[in-house]
Amino acid sequence: MSDKSGFFERVYEVCRKIPEGRVTSYGAIAKYLGAARSARMVGWAMNSSHNLEDVPAHRVVNRKGILTGKHHFGGSNAMQQLLEAEGVKVQDLQIIDFQKYFWDPMKELS
């Protein structure tokens, strides 16, 4: 652990710090890591994080609050179910009041 050799390890760490009932965007995480332009990389990190149980990737959505990666959660609406189960209202793969549930790592963690 403490393997800072990878950009991913850092992403996992932030994802794990996401409180329940809260969501964040790829760009926010990327920006917190100092790579605002590497938002795509965050998506890849999640792909690996899929093997890790400590990383709630279902709390990570895109900038619009849309569950872009719900297809990677098993091909079902599992991701939406998980969010709703935590108190986040999701409609048609889009989070309602996304701005209200938005959790900024560099603003909350700072």
CA–CA dist 59, 27 (Å, integer): 13
CB under 7 A: which stretch of 25-33, 80-88, 90-98, 99-107 binds DNA?
25-33
CB under 7 A: which stretch of 21-29, 84-92, 96-104 binds DNA?
21-29
Binding-site string for DNA from residue 31 to residue 60, where x marks contact by CB under 7 A and - marks none: ----xxxxxxxxxx-xxxxx------x--x
Binding-site string for DNA from residue 62 to residue 81, where x marks contact by CB under 7 A and - marks none: xxx---xx-xxx--------
Start-to-end Cα distance in the chain: 22
Could you give the angle at the alpha carbon of 70 between the alpha carbons of 64 and 71, nearest 5°? 125
User: Are the C-beta atoms of 21 and 88 separated by less than 8 Å?
Assistant: yes
Q: Does 23 bind DNA (CB under 7 A)?
A: no
Q: What are phi and psi of 94, to 5 degrees?
A: -120, 130
Residues engaged in binding DNA (CB under 7 A): 6-7, 25-27, 30, 35-44, 46-50, 57, 60, 62-64, 68-69, 71-73
